[in-house]
Chains A and B, each alone.
Chain A
Amino acid sequence: MRRANGRLALSLVLVLLGFLVVVQLRSQAADAGLNALSVQELGELVANLTTRNNQLRDEISTLQRQHDSVAAAVERGGTSAAQMRADLNRVLGWSGALGVTGAGVRVTVDGTLPGEEVEFLLNELRNAGAEAISIGDIRVVPGVVVTGPPGSLVMSGIPLAEPLELLAIGQTDTLGGSLSRAGGPIAQLAVRYPDVTVSVTGLDRIEIPPTDRNLQPVLGRPRL
């Protein structure tokens, strides 16, 4: 009896120990970074997370409608070909496999920048919610990277013509404001490259072509 009580006590302590180890490791990993942030940076982080969560809620609404539509079609003994086509077009357009048209901005770079600074602009456009981006006639998709020194930029093995022109579909004010804000990318580039001028123009209609890359993985396989 005494031995059984001892084992029970030992088990409880070990469970508590394991729990505390996990709590300690998780709190160290998550909070260490947050506690290094200033109040302003924390505010920016909260704004980013809020925006992302709102986008995720929109996506859930879309998927829920799609789910209900497909479920209703299946219940009727049929299929939802129209819904599947719409979903297919949405996924293809988003991924870059299909061209996209819509409102957005044209970013013109007068002067020469190195590849990493063009990537800096692309990253900023994505962060501002760009839904599709192209440079010249090349769609920016995963795997496409702008490289090279100023004046000799290459993208997907193709030399980029100057002046460089980036097109991005998205909310015009947000895209433009993100690039042009005080201390933003354009201001930073103006400091680093005084001879380069980056301008942003809002447009009601932009056409962004599909990628000519095959996006299908060759080596990877779906994980079940």
Chain B
Amino acid sequence: MSGLAARIRAIPTWQITLGVALLGLGFLIAAQLASEGPRTRYTTQERVPLVATALDLQAEQEGLKDRILALRASIGDLEATGQGGAAVTTDLGDQLQRARVASGLVAMTGPGLVIQLSDSTAPVPPDGIEREYLVSGQDVLTVVEELWLAGAEGIAVNGERITAATAIVDIGGSVLVNSAYVAAPYQVSAIGPPDMLDRLTRSAGFVDFIRGRVEMFGIGVGQSVSDGVDVPAYAGSVNLRYGRPAPSPTPDTGRGSPVPTESP
């Protein structure tokens, strides 16, 4: 017996660590293969290329968004370089930066809270509808609207900034925000006043949501209050293809000020 203990003690530590790591590796490979099993059974000839196309398009979208953010940053740098003390362009540069901040084109940080919505872990009854136990686009939209009403000044869902043009829609059990596919759990990050959570939980609309979705179907809702909530910049199009900016009598960039477009 003492001989066995001595032999175990004689095994170098790195060999034990390697053994544990190999065990973990084996477990993960098994888990990966197991998760492939039902998927393969479920897929059909039509589904496989569609899923692959959706994933490719989503990956491409990430690259396009990165390119937009990089171009905007580069333009901002160039404008700052070119201002060179000319009062008119310095003023225009300041107005542009304020307009970009007000429009959600700049990443922000500030006090606020993050609400996390997760699919129900409750078993679906035999006569139940499975999708009712999943977080829907309407759930996410409701929380976003309630956060606006509670005083939020900037919101993002899973890294997608909510802007004047943002739609949150369902396709089957999946949610699209700004036409980007986002998966559960959904993190709704909001910058806002210190009492935002208190205002939210006192809102009749939010109470209805808790009763109708959380208590009835077990949708998970968690929250985290922080002094440093981050919301990313909107990385989509701000082009007006069908509309043109119109003169406005309101003289402030934050609200709206017409800027003559002719050269000085």
Tell me whether A and B are bound partners. yes
Main SS at interface, chain B? mixed
Question: Does the CB pair B169–A101 fall under 8 Å?
Answer: no
Question: Is B159 in contact with chain A by the CB < 8 A criterion?
Answer: no
Tell me the minimal C-beta distance from B174 to chain A in angstroms.
5
Task: Give Cα distance in the complex from A94 to B244, angstroms.
Answer: 9
B79 on the A face (CB < 8 A): yes
**Is A94 within 8 A of B256, CB to CB?**
no
Q: How many A-B residue pairs have CB under 8 A?
A: 371
Q: Is the CB of A219 within 8 A of B111?
A: yes
| Contact for A41 among B102, B110, B171, B256, CB less than 8 A | B171
Cα distance A195–B163 in the bound complex, in angstroms: 33
In the complex, chain B residues whose CB is within 8 Å of the CB of A36: 172-174
In the assembled complex, B240 has its CB within 8 A of some CB on chain A: yes
Indicate the size class of the contact surface on chain B.
35 or more
Q: Which partner residue on chain A sits nearest B246 by CB separation?
A: A99
If over half of A's interface residues share one DSSP class (helix, strand or loop), that class is named, otherwise mixed; here it is helix
Question: Known contacts being A91-B238, A98-B246, is A45 close to B258, with CB within 8 Å?
Answer: no
Give the residue of A35, A59, A141, A171 whose beta carbon is less than 8 angstroms from that of B237: A59
Report the Cα distance A50→B71, complex, angstroms. 21
CB-contact partner of B54 in A46, A66, A87, A91, under 8 A: A46
Give CA–CA (A144, B212) in the complex, Å: 24
**Cβ < 8 Å to B, chain A residues 84-109:** 84-104
State how many angstroms separate the Cβ of B23 from the closest Cβ of chain A.
10
- Whether A92 pairs with B163 at a CB distance below 8 angstroms is no
The winner among A6, A24, A42, A116 for most chain B CB atoms within 10 A is A42
- Contact present for B110 and A211 (CB under 8 Å): no
Cross-chain contact of B57 among A46, A79, A96 (Cβ < 8 A) = A46
Q: Given that A30-B55, A140-B164 are known contacts, is A10 also in contact with B21, CB under 8 Å in the complex?
A: yes
Mask of A184-224 contacts with B, CB within 8 angstroms, 1/0: 00000000000000000000000111111111111111110
24 contacts between A and B (CB under 8 A): A3-B14, A6-B15, A10-B21, A16-B25, A35-B39, A45-B181, A46-B50, A49-B179, A55-B179, A55-B237, A80-B79, A81-B264, A92-B245, A94-B239, A97-B253, A132-B243, A140-B164, A145-B148, A210-B248, A215-B255, A220-B153, A222-B101, A222-B108, A223-B107
Q: Chain A residues in contact with chain B, CB under 8 A? A: 3, 6-7, 9-10, 13-14, 16-17, 20-21, 23-24, 27-39, 41-46, 48-53, 55-60, 62-64, 66-67, 70-71, 73-74, 78-82, 84-104, 116, 119, 123-124, 126-127, 130-132, 140-145, 147, 169-171, 207-223
